[in-house]
């Protein structure tokens, strides 16, 4: 593994449940993502995309196999150790924007930074810079319901990239947007990742944005068809 490797998965499996109801959802996944790459993960419903993202995002522990983020193992950890890894390495963008309706755009972006140990003031400053980077400096005091769908998803992008976590994971970030907004949001995400040096893995069904990927990885029934051919 070189320093330029962002993600390395070796023989990764995930089984939900035990005994008679056990279901193996990831069946030996090998994957290497170079630092700074912008990769899309595509595959049928139920093939294991969200499960794989959840393991990379240090939300779920794998059952067997090895997983490294920037050389640091994230397998074999206790559940209580995962949040700290998640805060150090991951910015997550969800299908819905998952913003808190009671908070302003700026407070939504600042919140995870405060969880990472930023002072309130430093978090607000970084949040403002991130909102400016997504073109929403003038909307920072708005609550999510006062924003359009595309603007909300841009706030979600600002929240994910604020504090510069090295790995951005996005689970169908354009699913709730029309074609035009979906394209713009993905272009924005790609540009920010390139400018700020984030590695990104984007789950999508949206073939209108495939051309923006450096690489497309396909998953079917818990196995990657082309995981280790960077
Ligand atoms: N928490 C869970 N407990 C048990 N089974 C689960 C759990 N989460 C997902 N599964 C099962 O694992 C399989 C893969 O689910 P996953 O959410 O990873 O698929 P996906 O590729 O993201 O699908 P979609 O495109 O519909 O979002 C499915 O059969 C699903 O029912
Ligand atoms: Mg999913």
Ligand 1, atom 3, lies closest to the CA of 16
How far does residue 49's CA lie from ligand 2's centre (Å)?
A: 5
The pLDDT mean for the chain works out to: 94
221 close to ligand 1 (CB < 6 Angstrom): no
pLDDT tier, 3 (very low <50, low <70, confident <90, very high otherwise): low
Backbone angles phi, psi at 10, to 5 degrees: -130, 110
CB burial readout 35-45, b (16+ within 10 A) else e: bbbbbbbbbee
Domain 5-224 has CATH 3.30.1360.10: no
Segment 10-14 mean pLDDT = 98
Helix (H, G, I), strand (E, B) or coil at 183: helix
Give pLDDT tens digits for 65-106. Answer: 999 999 999 999 999 999 999 999 999 998 887 899 999 999
The domain ranges of the chain are: 5-224
As residues whose CB is below 5 A from the ion ligand 2, the structure lists 49-50
Confidence of residue 230 (pLDDT cuts 50, 70, 90): very low
């Amino acid at each position: 593994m070189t320093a330029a490797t962002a993600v390395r998965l070796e023989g990764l499996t995930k089984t939900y449940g035990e005994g008679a109801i056990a279901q193996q959802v990831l069946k030996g996944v090998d994957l290497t993502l170079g630092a700074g790459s912008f990769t899309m993960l595509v595959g049928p419903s139920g093939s294991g995309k969200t499960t794989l993202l959840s393991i990379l995002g240090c939300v779920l522990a794998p059952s067997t196999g090895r997983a490294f983020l920037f050389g640091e193992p994230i397998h074999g950890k206790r559940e209580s150790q995962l949040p700290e890894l998640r805060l150090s390495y991951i910015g997550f963008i969800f299908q819905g924007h998952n913003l808190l309706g009671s908070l302003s755009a700026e407070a939504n972006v600042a919140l995870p930074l405060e969880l990472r140990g930023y002072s309130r003031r430093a978090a607000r400053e970084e949040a403002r810079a991130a909102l400016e980077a997504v073109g929403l400096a003038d909307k920072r005091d708005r609550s999510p319901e006062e924003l359009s769908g595309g603007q909300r998803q841009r706030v979600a992008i600002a929240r994910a990239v604020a504090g510069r976590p090295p790995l951005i994971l996005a689970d169908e970030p354009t699913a709730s947007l029309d074609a035009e907004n979906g394209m713009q949001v993905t272009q924005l995400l790609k540009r920010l990742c390139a400018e700020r040096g984030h590695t990104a893995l984007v789950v999508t069904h949206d073939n209108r944005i495939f051309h923006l990927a450096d690489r497309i990885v396909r998953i079917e029934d818990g196995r990657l068809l082309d995981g280790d051919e960077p």
